[in-house]
Amino acid sequence: MSETATTEFDGSVVHPDLEYERKRCSFRIPDFTYALYGREGFAVLTKLRLALARNPAFDLRYLWSADGTTQQYVRGCWLAEEVVKVIRQLELIDRDDAIGPLQILAGEDMFVMLHLTMFLPTLKNMCDEEQARYWVPLAEDFRIIGTYCQTELAHGSNVSGLETTADFDDKTDEWVLNTPSLQSTKWWPGGLAKSCTHCVCMARLRIHDKDYGVHPFILQVRDLNTHESLPGVKLFHIGKKLGYNSMDNGGVQLHNVRIPRRNLLMKYCHVDRQGTYKPLGSKKLMYGTMTFTRKQIIMAAGPQLAKSVVIAIRYSAVRRQFPMTMKKHETKDSSRDAEVQILDYSTQQITLFPLLAAAVAYTVTGIWMDAFYNSFIEDAKKDDFSKLEEIHAVTSCLKAMMSLSVADGMEKCRKACGGHGFLLASGIPIQFVNFVPVATYEGDRVVLSVQTARVLLKIVQRKMMSRDPKHTLAGTTLEYIHNFDPFGDHQPPAIENTPWFDPDWLMEIHRRRSCGLVYKAAQQYAAETSSGKDMMEALDLVKVEFTRLGTAHAQVLVLHFFLEAVKRVELVEVREVWVDLWLCLALSWCDEHFGEFVITRALGPDHHDGLMTAFKTILRKIRPNAVAIADAFWIPDQLLNSALGRYDGRVYEALMESTKMEPLNRLDVPPGYLEHIQYILHPERKKRSSPAHSKL
Amino acid sequence: MSETATTEFDGSVVHPDLEYERKRCSFRIPDFTYALYGREGFAVLTKLRLALARNPAFDLRYLWSADGTTQQYVRGCWLAEEVVKVIRQLELIDRDDAIGPLQILAGEDMFVMLHLTMFLPTLKNMCDEEQARYWVPLAEDFRIIGTYCQTELAHGSNVSGLETTADFDDKTDEWVLNTPSLQSTKWWPGGLAKSCTHCVCMARLRIHDKDYGVHPFILQVRDLNTHESLPGVKLFHIGKKLGYNSMDNGGVQLHNVRIPRRNLLMKYCHVDRQGTYKPLGSKKLMYGTMTFTRKQIIMAAGPQLAKSVVIAIRYSAVRRQFPMTMKKHETKDSSRDAEVQILDYSTQQITLFPLLAAAVAYTVTGIWMDAFYNSFIEDAKKDDFSKLEEIHAVTSCLKAMMSLSVADGMEKCRKACGGHGFLLASGIPIQFVNFVPVATYEGDRVVLSVQTARVLLKIVQRKMMSRDPKHTLAGTTLEYIHNFDPFGDHQPPAIENTPWFDPDWLMEIHRRRSCGLVYKAAQQYAAETSSGKDMMEALDLVKVEFTRLGTAHAQVLVLHFFLEAVKRVELVEVREVWVDLWLCLALSWCDEHFGEFVITRALGPDHHDGLMTAFKTILRKIRPNAVAIADAFWIPDQLLNSALGRYDGRVYEALMESTKMEPLNRLDVPPGYLEHIQYILHPERKKRSSPAHSKL
């Protein structure tokens, strides 16, 4: 494995600090990479990296000085064109295992990605067979480009509150679509502004004034030949966002737009020529797109976090600040002044190493998630929906916890790079602003916590009513909740000989924390409802607790899947490093949520000293391997897009070089001087002052 | 007090939800405003608001669709010109009480602000009398524009590591300035790229090859007539940042730049014609600029946070989502469907109300900070430096805690606005990206925590060695650390009748948490040093604990000053609301840092249930006043610059209106279609495909 860095200067000279770090690590870097992605995953990555390498469309440095949405959107279109070429040439359209990595490797999200991850899956899930035969090939061949059009200006998570209407006109056998108010303006769909030709539009299905609720309709919005928007379809761009501006999120107002009756997607219901409405089959898979999208988010979380962590760790190995005498073992280069690599500071380690561990943990959790989702789909094809509840709970809590953790983690990485982290050329700001909406879309923490908690509380409820559902839970991610004995004597373990480095024991106290929170919330909720409160009101009273138990449960799952993965690592020298990372993550969460551990008696107040000692021991143990672990994510420089995170570590050269891209550096005397600054310095040059303030 | 909203549509029609909220509050909004800013502060604000109103330079909506750095910089220059006009016309140059609020009200930071808050104070502090007579009037009249030029590409917090040199040439009586390496390139000074004519440049003073360390030199960088950069002075813009792009942060490389001997600022040392170096007077005020700048940051923190909180609270009162039956008391408008104001949700309240309380608390802490700083300066003029240690500790820990808290708080507010919070037109993203560097510059959390901890540990040390310094600490912010008895029987209070609504008791447990962390860290540090470890190494081993005790100490101070302010509020109906806010903040910190409260025995594990019950009670109590409290910050719509936070609450109209500013909405078929999208839809239109991939 070698890095083909996007360099303007000689990339072959690696900074001696990084060279040293790579030599002194305790394992072979490629072995870690194989263990992380698996042989198959690694083969896919290799193929994709090759297809993208040296294609200037994937050189993302223009983002460092990106102008407004227009420039960025046009670049996004170029990126989209090249991505589609790669998909066509490598025949990836049906390869879910490749589309996800391709989305990450492309660097920027644009309309084509939503076409692939929302529009196409929705068609596959919502069309009846005849419809699928017509629409799916068109979408798979990009003869149409679509998006998923649901949220409205005033309506988000509450889908049943949507206002857009589709009225059946039995004279013409058509639906008439309208957004009847400002509030019902469709708002947010990615690609809808300028790129899409079609969308799946969610609207209230009405027949002869009877409202059947929200249903999916396929709606063409632009002419396939001219790309002009169609009559009655008022499309617009919703404006610049904090990030994610390669994506043209759009809005639409519909005025009596007519589409054929068969444009209602008819897998789960049927409306005939006479306007007779008939529900069809099991609705259990109706919200399949949402589960699919959350699964995709969970799969991407680890690699996304890794990008920022790799930058921060490499930079911290090159950046030096303040002397630290007596640290001879770290300072091997005696010719330099005695300033220390900032990665040697405990504060830097306690910030970055748990994030490094999380990046590995989330990556392997994502791989598990994908496999679990696929097995669920296989079962569903055989009409077996036994995993429905579990997959719902798992995707909800993992998406909520991981998306927030990654967004926060990126910002921590950025701050850990000091002042330079604030430059777009550092790479992390762009990663952060592009990723952070993930924490909101497809369900934010609150909405998803309620979903998770409902499933968990049901288990408690059933157990308390002695209806033992154990046989259905055995081997599932929910089993430990059932197995917990709320009436047991839950005293924190003795302080002496606390086994801080025993993964099974740490797993146990994490489970105890989670169960403690779940059973306590269940008790509170039961008390509120039995006191006569309405279900929604009682729910609001424990919602705060739900968000917390959702996080605790998600962390149990991540630690569990990570530990399973650790056990599967074959090479002992790699496995040892994974054990360190696992311990680092588990201990960091004990520290971060220490309050919850003591509340639930998983730990006692006096455990904190021992915890910190153990935590710091692991941090020091990881230190010599940190750069090598970062390397093992095998992220190309092109994707990091960072002057600070380059494989060759030549950060100062790269920063200096990056200033050449700044348009303001084209002129010595700037625009702004003649118009404004000269009048500050020389007010007499302006014959008369602006009348606006002369009266004050 | 009325709002002059920047509206395109009729601003006089206020959304009924907001109208209702404003009517039902328990106090008169202007009374709260007077209590918050004080009569004098309010008078200054009124004057400034009047001077800025209806001036199109202060209409910040261009930021919603801002293009690259050039456009934003030119707008920044316009803003600067207008700010200078206001300063000249209202004669504010010497009015520190007005410059701070003006900086906030202007909305965007640009070079003029650094001229006022860093360059000018440095001149005043570092010039000898003769130099001051020459330079200060020039700067005060904006005949020169300056900045503070210290950090280098590879050197930040460690000032003594700076590499830029100033060699004395006794033949010509000049200094010769050089940046001898890539690493020593000056990097970051705001305004240096394009705007400044001068700077205070920090460089190693060397005479006849003897290095006297880093000293301040005044250096002209651009011609006063043409604004062209001077020979040997290679100025450049360091590139686009995450935010703060109205400021032209720059870099400079110096090649044998000659300046007169008297351009060394000579208050704290003197170099004569022969090159004889003589230190002068007390160095205690040498780092005065830094203390001044931190004080300014502390003063701005509350108002900055308020901007985001006001937006999130007003929007949460207008936005409705999901029905919540049985909540009749909240739904007064029966004609609407039963969706609930999202501000009624406990999860929204627990996110926003502690931030609302913090915005008030930080504002009053800032006012205290200013007064304390001024009294320190008065003392210093009389050569009384008894408050030096305290002001150092106070500014360090408050700056560290508050800047992080405000940055995080803004992002929480943004997320609390759901998807729409991601739009630049929501206002919060711009506030966040502009504010977030404050957490890094002028000392980040780690650097400042070490400063704070050193002062606090010294108190413990003196006490433990029975050298009672109590007489010097009485009445100071450090006294409670001294008064703590580490050998006392610190058992958590009994669960029964815990006085959760008693501010004095809550103050006490916060102090106990802080003291517990301080004494524990002192003990650890002593153990490390007495085991023979080097001072720097021992320090690194407890640095993590230092960052935590720094936060705890800062929170004690904020709660203390806030409580003092509460007690001073005259009107009982306002004071009652302030008490609620105080309790909300104190309880939220108990919850957030519950682990630390149990570790230090300030609380026991079983207190958490009661804490949450009390916390939720206060949240519900604040709810009916929330919008009115937000209003009381009296922030003009122009400054909020938000479609979601408008005084009139017409958020959906404003969002729709904001899309008119998006350049991509000028054409139906976008740029990008002809170049790229058409070849995705119609690959046959491209005669031959790009050769780049044809081989794959």
The two beta strands, B165-169 and B198-207, are: parallel
- Which amino acid is residue B248, in one-letter code? D
Q: Check residue B193 and give its pLDDT.
A: 98
Lowest mean pLDDT among A428-442, A497-511, B677-691: B677-691
Going by pLDDT thresholds of 50, 70 and 90, the confidence category of residue A467 is low
* Same-domain pairing of B387 and B447: yes
Per the CB < 8 A criterion, the answer to whether A559 and A357 are in contact is no
- Mean pLDDT along residues A331-351: 78
Q: Check residue A326 and give its pLDDT.
A: 43
- Which amino acid is residue A207, in one-letter code? I
* Same-domain pairing of A603 and A681: no
- Mean pLDDT along residues B268-296: 87
**Is A527 an interface residue toward B (CB < 8 Å)?**
no
- Torsion angle, CA of A65/A66/A68/A72, rounded to 10 degrees? 180
pLDDT at B33 over 60: yes
Q: Check residue B67 and give its pLDDT.
A: 75
- Whole-number average pLDDT of chain A: 93
**Is A642 an interface residue toward B (CB < 8 Å)?**
no
Is there a domain that residue A8 lies in? no
- Mean pLDDT along residues A407-417: 98
Q: Which residues of A are part of the catalytic machinery?
A: 442
B 454-513: CB under 8 A from A: none
- Helical ranges in B149-214 per DSSP H: none
Q: Which of B317, B340, B313 is CA-nearest to residue B328? A: B340
Is there a domain that residue B638 lies in? no
Cβ separation B608–A616 shorter than 8 A: no
Q: Which residues of A touch B612 (CB under 8 A)?
A: 544-545
Q: Check residue B287 and give its pLDDT.
A: 66
Nearest by CB: B672 against A77, A85, A677: A77
Q: Check residue B467 and give its pLDDT.
A: 67
Q: Check residue B464 and give its pLDDT.
A: 85
* Same-domain pairing of B100 and B231: no
Lowest mean pLDDT among A179-193, A574-588, B280-294: B280-294
Q: Check residue A334 and give its pLDDT.
A: 41
- Which amino acid is residue B637, in one-letter code? D
Going by pLDDT thresholds of 50, 70 and 90, the confidence category of residue A57 is very high
Could you give the C-alpha distances from A428 to A227, A424, B153, B556, in angstroms and in order? 36, 7, 18, 34
List for chain A the helix, strand, coil content (%; round to 5). Answer: 60, 10, 30
Q: What is the dihedral sign for C-alpha B562, B568, B571, B573?
A: positive
Could you give the C-alpha distances from B223 to A135, B231, B675, in angstroms and in order? 67, 10, 45
* Same-domain pairing of A456 and A405: yes
Cβ separation B664–A433 shorter than 8 A: no
**Chain B interface, mutation test: which of A591, A677, A686, most B Cβ atoms within 10 Å?**
A677
Tokens 């036994």 belong to which residue? Answer: A386
* Same-domain pairing of A346 and A399: yes
pLDDT at B4 over 80: no
Per the CB < 8 A criterion, the answer to whether A426 and A319 are in contact is no
* Same-domain pairing of B443 and B302: yes
| Residue B161 annotated as binding site | no
pLDDT at A332 over 70: no
Q: Which residues of A touch B414 (CB under 8 A)?
A: 242
Buried b (16+ CB within 10 A) or exposed e, A527-547: ebbeeebeeeebbbbbbbbbb
Per the CB < 8 A criterion, the answer to whether B215 and B277 are in contact is no
| Closest residue of chain B to A76, computed from CA coordinates | B672
Q: In the structure encoding, which two tokens stand for residue B241, read together?
A: 């940042």
Cβ separation B652–A696 shorter than 8 A: no
Is there a domain that residue B134 lies in? no
- Helical ranges in B278-345 per DSSP H: 288-318
Q: In the structure encoding, which two tokens stand for residue A402, read together?
A: 């991981």
Rg value, chain B, Cα: 28
Is there a domain that residue A6 lies in? no
CA distance A341 to chain B (A): 12
Cβ separation B321–A69 shorter than 8 A: no
Beta bridge partners of A301: none
Annotated binding site of A: 151, 190
Nearest by CB: A89 against B322, B681, B693: B693
**Is A136 an interface residue toward B (CB < 8 Å)?**
no
Per the CB < 8 A criterion, the answer to whether B190 and B200 are in contact is no
Is there a domain that residue B210 lies in? yes
- Helical ranges in B569-625 per DSSP H: 572-592, 594-599, 607-622
Nearest by CB: B156 against A418, A608, A668: A418
Which structural domain, as residue segments, surrounds residue B376? 289-322+338-631
Q: Which residues of A touch B142 (CB under 8 A)?
A: 680-681
Q: Check residue A544 and give its pLDDT.
A: 97
Structure confidence by residue, pLDDT tens digits, A542-591: 999 999 999 999 999 999 999 999 999 999 999 999 999 999 999 999 99
**Is A51 an interface residue toward B (CB < 8 Å)?**
yes
* Same-domain pairing of B237 and B383: no
- Mean pLDDT along residues A135-158: 96
CA distance A126 to chain B (A): 23
CA distance B424 to chain A (A): 5
Kindly tell me the burial class for residue B546, based on how many C-beta atoms sit within 10 Å of its own C-beta (0-12, 13-18, 19 or more).
buried
Q: Check residue A325 and give its pLDDT.
A: 64
Nearest by CB: B195 against A88, A659, A677: A677
Residue B203 backbone phi and psi in degrees, to 5: -150, 155
Q: In the structure encoding, which two tokens stand for residue A190, read together?
A: 């990615």
CA distance B17 to chain A (A): 15
Q: Check residue A336 and give its pLDDT.
A: 40
Cβ separation A194–B670 shorter than 8 A: yes
Q: Which of A121, A153, A177 is the last residue of a domain?
A: A121
* Same-domain pairing of A615 and A657: no
Q: In the structure encoding, which two tokens stand for residue A168, read together?
A: 């059946």
| Closest residue of chain A to B339, computed from CA coordinates | A161
Interior CA angle at B621 toward B620 and B626, to 5°?
90
* Same-domain pairing of A570 and A554: yes
Q: Check residue A11 and give its pLDDT.
A: 56
Q: Which residues of B touch A346 (CB under 8 A)?
A: 540-541, 543-544
Annotated binding site of A for FAD: 151, 190
Is there a domain that residue B328 lies in? no
Structure confidence by residue, pLDDT tens digits, A277-329: 999 987 777 767 778 999 999 999 999 999 999 999 999 999 999 887 644 44
Q: What is the dihedral sign for C-alpha B172, B173, B179, B181?
A: positive
* Same-domain pairing of B548 and B659: no
Per the CB < 8 A criterion, the answer to whether B427 and B645 are in contact is yes
Strands (DSSP E) found in B162-312: 165-169, 174-178, 186-187, 198-207, 210-220, 233-237, 250-254, 257-260, 269-271, 277-279
**Is A339 an interface residue toward B (CB < 8 Å)?**
yes
**Is B62 an interface residue toward A (CB < 8 Å)?**
no
DSSP string, B86-139: HHHHHT-TT-HHHHHHHHHHH-S--HHHHIIIIIHHHHHHHS-HHHHHHHHHHH
Q: Check residue A649 and give its pLDDT.
A: 97
Could you say which DSSP state residue A42 is in? H
Is there a domain that residue A642 lies in? no
Cβ separation A339–B67 shorter than 8 A: no
The CATH number linked to B419 is 1.20.140.10
Domain count along chain B: 4
* Same-domain pairing of A465 and A553: yes
Phi-psi region of B380 (alpha: psi -120 to 50; beta: other; left: phi over 0): alpha
**Is A678 an interface residue toward B (CB < 8 Å)?**
yes
The two beta strands, A165-169 and A174-178, are: antiparallel
Q: Check residue B282 and give its pLDDT.
A: 75
Cβ separation A319–B154 shorter than 8 A: yes
Q: Which residues of B are part of the catalytic machinery?
A: 442
* Same-domain pairing of B514 and B480: yes
Structure confidence by residue, pLDDT tens digits, A526-545: 999 999 888 888 999 999 99
Going by pLDDT thresholds of 50, 70 and 90, the confidence category of residue A678 is very high
Nearest by CB: A680 against B142, B323, B537: B142
| Closest residue of chain B to A615, computed from CA coordinates | B544
Going by pLDDT thresholds of 50, 70 and 90, the confidence category of residue A381 is confident
Is pTM beyond 0.90 here? yes
Q: Check residue B2 and give its pLDDT.
A: 43
B582 or B466: which leads in pLDDT: B582
How many whole angstroms separate alpha carbon A502 and alpha carbon A614? 11
Q: Check residue B648 and give its pLDDT.
A: 97
Number of Cβ within 10 Å of residue B17's Cβ equals 20
Cβ separation A73–B664 shorter than 8 A: yes
Going by pLDDT thresholds of 50, 70 and 90, the confidence category of residue A331 is very low
- Helical ranges in A382-500 per DSSP H: 388-416, 428-435, 445-464, 470-473, 479-483
- Whole-number average pLDDT of chain B: 93
Going by pLDDT thresholds of 50, 70 and 90, the confidence category of residue B114 is very high
Beta bridge partners of A264: A217
Q: Check residue A621 and give its pLDDT.
A: 98
The CATH number linked to B171 is 2.40.110.10
Q: Check residue A690 and give its pLDDT.
A: 52
Percent above pLDDT 90 for chain B: 84
Percent above pLDDT 70 for chain A: 94
Residue A672: strand, helix, or coil: coil
- Mean pLDDT along residues A266-270: 95
Cβ separation B423–A598 shorter than 8 A: no
Q: Check residue B657 and give its pLDDT.
A: 97
How many whole angstroms separate alpha carbon A212 and alpha carbon A218? 17
Is there a domain that residue B468 lies in? yes
CA distance A363 to chain B (A): 25
Q: Which of A598, A470, A51, A151 is CA-nearest to residue B604? A: A598
